[in-house]
Amino acid sequence: MTHENLTLMEIEDLNDEINLADGHPRFTPFAWQEQVFGRLSERFAETAREDYDEVQSAFLETFLRSVGESFLPGRCRYAVCYASSVAIEIVARVLRNEGERVALIEPTFDNIPDLLRSTAISLRPVREDHLEGWGPSQLKRLMGGTTTLFLTLPNNPTGFSPPAEWYDQLGAALAHEGHKLVVDCSFRGFDDQAVNLDLANRLTQQGLDFILIEDTGKLFPSQELKAGVIVASGSWSDRVWREFSNVILTWSPFVLGVLTDLSRGFADHREDLTRLIARNRQAVRDGLWRFVTPHRQESQACVEFLRLAPDLASTQTAIAAAKAAGVAVLPGGPFYWDNPSSPPARNSLRIALSRDPEYVDEGVTRLNAAWSGLVDRKSER
């Protein structure tokens, strides 16, 4: 079957025996999360009696604090919706209406360029390695005639996560030239560096017009009870609110109440999640070292982006063998949205880590057997 995008692949993989494709959290809830889920009926009754603005403000302040962000209602505009993909669609409408030309990071999850292109926005790829070594003297080359830089940081799939000084330098340079910045921060909760940025506060001090996209959906095993958050500053504040109002009235106060409780627990127990992800990452690296190498050794993302060894012939062959063994993983090609046939695109794949340890171990065991068979058959030719 020919797949149109990564999300279609993830949907088809949902019922596989071992689903290591989508990056959503599918692990057994921790004890503190079970306590939240154990009082859903009480929370439903509570939020039904509360003022919506109070429910939303409590969620925003609690969630943002849990991922290292200040709540700045006097300086930024906030909009809460169903998911980060809806937030991206709203932002795409704003960019289109403002006539923005967008420089977009590559690789990144392919629904971002798809959603931007659906509004007829002109896109220019910006390679991740060019961003990593960026300096102010290179801004003109980096932007290439565009007006807005769109990043996913920490990046999905690679885990690239620059330090605070990098953002300070970039924000100042963009503001000086009259450019704007959009950052999808959906994967920040796993990254020790990213949860200490206080990015909105940092960028407002630079005088930069920016949009941040936040997401609870990668953090909590809440069966898709989640929210996407848009944080907009400067000239974009009113424009985001106007487009938001064309899409949604409000998000569920009940869901926001539950997410507030989960965020409060996350602030105190974040290490439970980071330990799980680190443990599963090491299991993948130790168990599959003959066949793959990490794209970034220092990655803390909830996914692992891997380069295939030459012995595996091709990503397509490796994924087909995994599928035959009951294991679903994602090919790397679609993440390279501008050049899916480039060498790094052809020889990479992504494995999700937000699973129970036993589940990941079983997946690694099956992948090891499946890929060993490929290597053995190749050596016999």
Burial grade of 74 (CB within 10 A; 0-12, 13-18, 19 or more): exposed
Q: Could you tell me the two tokens for 290? A: 């003959």
CA distance 270 to 37: 18
CB 259 within 8 A of CB 216: yes
Share of the chain above pLDDT 90, in %: 92
Give the distance between the most distant pair of CA atoms in the chain: 71
pLDDT digit string, tens, across residues 314-361: 899 999 999 999 999 999 999 999 999 898 899 999 999 999 999 999
pLDDT interval class at 5 (50, 70, 90):
very high
Task: Give the H/E segment covering residue 102.
Answer: strand 102-106
58-107 pLDDT, tens digit per residue, is 999 999 999 999 999 999 999 999 999 999 999 999 999 999 999 999 99
Closest CA to 236 of 76, 89, 354: 76
Confidence class for position 49, pLDDT limits 50, 70, 90: very high
Question: Which domains are present in the chain?
Answer: 6-30+269-380 (3.90.1150.10), 31-263 (3.40.640.10)
Helices (H), the chain: 6-13, 31-37, 40-49, 52-66, 84-97, 111-117, 128-132, 139-143, 164-176, 199-205, 236-247, 253-287, 315-324, 343-346, 357-380
For residue 365, pLDDT beyond 70 = yes
pLDDT value at 192 more than 80: yes
Region for 120 from its dihedrals, namely left if φ exceeds 0, alpha if ψ lies in -120 to 50, beta otherwise: left
- Could you tell me the pLDDT band of residue 313, with boundaries at 50, 70 and 90? confident
Q: Does an H or E element contain 105, and which? A: strand 102-106
pLDDT tens per residue across span 142-187: 999 999 999 999 999 999 999 999 999 999 999 999 999 999 999 9
**Residues making up the chain, counted from first to last:** 381
Q: How many CB atoms lie within 10 A of CB 260?
A: 23
Element (H, E) at 215: strand 210-215
